[in-house]
Amino acid sequence: MPNQKKKLNGFIIVASQFYEYYEAAHMLIDSLLDYMPEANIALFAHDQWTKNDSRCDDLYMVDDCPNHVRAKLYCLSKTPFDKTVYLDADTYVQHEDVSKMFDFDSDLVFTNIRPYAGKIAKFVGGEMVLHGGVFGYKSTPRVFQFMDDWWNYYNKQRTNEWWPEGVQPKSQLISWDQLTLWWLTENTYSDLDISIYEDDARWNFVYVYKEDECKGPIVIWHYTLPLKKPADARSLN
């Protein structure tokens, strides 16, 4: 039989606008490599930050990204991997089970939003249930099309060029990329096979979650990054 190309799994991390996110991304990378030394990592960050930074030398891929509040959405379809796990820069790995995050067969795999832990989940017209801070996906044409639409529709959402019919309150929802995620997966991309990680809070434990949200040990800790005031001089925003 001819040799088949080995399927490549890897993580992507995106840091844009504020330099604190870039430093947080490297803290995340260090924690990831502590528990999974063989991890393939693609870092998307501004060239001004990554150029001449030796911390980037051994990463699988380093690439530029837009100066945008949701630059991650632009980068998702640029993954070099067959299976990808996206991690917000303000997360931290604290268990070796991180290597099991690629054990999914669906097109995408998410964790669930806990309504008590966010500013808004239910709204007139629907409910956001998929958390966009940590998730896995396969590199298929349909998934990449979805990722690109997530980026494009979100930009139109923020500039009032597009808005899902019947959804309110607009003033509270307009900046939420998870609203765009909700609409696309409920409508245009309802054909995608989307699953939820088993014992899902383990894989994206937001710092305000209740202690009994997960049965097993926490794998990914998700915190909120404080930004400097005045802004760090290396920030682009």
Q: What is the CATH number of the domain that holds 110?
A: 3.90.550.10
Query: Is residue 227's pLDDT more than 90?
Result: no
Query: Is residue 142's pLDDT more than 60?
Result: yes
Q: How far apart are CA 119 and CA 116, in angstroms?
A: 8
Question: Quick check: is 214 in a domain?
Answer: yes
Question: Quick check: is 236 in a domain?
Answer: no
Query: Is residue 69's pLDDT more than 70?
Result: yes
Question: Quick check: is 85 in a domain?
Answer: yes
Contact in structure between 93 and 85 (CB atoms under 8 Å): no
pLDDT band for 1, please (50, 70, 90 cuts). Answer: very low
**Domain count for the chain:** 1
Question: Quick check: is 157 in a domain?
Answer: no
pLDDT in tens, 71-85: 999 999 999 999 999
Residues 6+ apart with CB under 8 A from 185: 130, 192, 194
Indicate yes or no: pTM above 0.85: yes
Query: Is residue 177's pLDDT more than 80?
Result: yes
Find the Cα–Cα–Cα–Cα dihedral 127, 131, 135, 141, rounded to 10°.
40
pLDDT band for 5, please (50, 70, 90 cuts). Answer: low
Question: Quick check: is 31 in a domain?
Answer: yes
Task: Report, as an integer, the average pLDDT of 6-27.
Answer: 96
Q: How far apart are CA 12 and CA 197, in angstroms?
A: 18
Question: Quick check: is 29 in a domain?
Answer: yes
Neighbour count for residue 38 (Cβ, 10 Å):
7
Question: Quick check: is 211 in a domain?
Answer: yes
Contact in structure between 112 and 211 (CB atoms under 8 Å): no
pLDDT in tens, 120-133: 889 999 999 999 99
Domain of residue 121: give its range: 9-138+194-222
Question: Quick check: is 159 in a domain?
Answer: no
Per the document, the length of the chain is: 237
Query: Is residue 3's pLDDT more than 60?
Result: no
| Mean pLDDT over each residue of the chain, to the nearest integer | 95
